[in-house]
Amino acid sequence: MELGLTDKVAVITGSSRGLGLASARALVAEGCRVVLCARGAEQLAEAAVEVEAAAKRPGMIGTVQADVSTLAGIELVIGTAVETFGGLDVLVNNVGRAAGSDLLGTTDAEWQAAFDETLFPAIRASRLAVPHMRQRGGGAIVMIASIYGREAGGRMTYNTVKAAEISLAKALAQQLAPANIRVNSVAPGSIMFPGGSWHKRQQSDPAGIAAWLSPETLQRLRELSTKISDAKR
């Protein structure tokens, strides 16, 4: 299927591993020019090699080492993408992290960090990207949220910032539709990738993870999910 992505310019935040890295591989394979960003130089370089291998031709990849939890960091990423490739068409807001525990055990600093490292990068990157997309006649913004932004589970801080991203996407979709800028949120479930939390659990307890992923357990989870959905109707 021709997706019309040839020579479009995409920025993916948090793109050195996991879903961000997978998104970069998929977009470059469709002909996109992709800008990767991450805090760590070594992991960013390794990601660039992996994404470059999926590219249809040389010169399709740009990298920026930056901390996108800061305004200066996200300005550097967006500015480098425009300077390197001449514009911006696609923004994938993927970066996100949250710590803390329950209500009484989570400090103000942990709450603030959750918003600074997840929601504000999405707000700032979108705000900086939109003028460039308007110059190109349109574009697309994708918020990588989480199923925990829709259902209870995981850390309370993470649930909150991911729910905020989903709401932000809805608001931006209404605002930016007249400019031919499409905004969507995606709410994936658990994803295992090297270095991620599920990978660490698998390494520490392979038998437990294998049992949790057994066909019988997955079937029970599907049945429970169906019951919850039916109860909400």
Q: Could you please report the per-residue DSSP string of the chain?
A: ---S-TT-EEEESS-SSHHHHHHHHHHHHTT-EEEEEES-HHHHHHHHHHHHHH-SSSS-EEEEE--TTSHHHHHHHHHHHHHHHS---EEEE--------STTT--HHHHHHHIIIIIHHHHHHHHHHHHHHHHTT-EEEEEE--GGGTSS-S-HHHHHHHHHHHHHHHHHHHHHGGGTEEEEEE-------TTSHHHHHHHH-HHHHHHHTSHHHHHHHHHHHHHHHHHH-
Residue matched to tokens 């991620």: 196
Q: What is the dihedral of CA 74, 196, 9, 82, to 10 degrees?
A: 20
- The question of whether 158 is a catalytic residue gets the answer yes
Is the separation of the CB atoms in 50 and 25 below 8 Å?
yes
Which position among 158, 160, 161, 165 bears the catalytic label? 158
Q: What is the rounded CA–CA span in Å between residue 47 and residue 16?
A: 5
What positions carry a catalytic annotation?
158
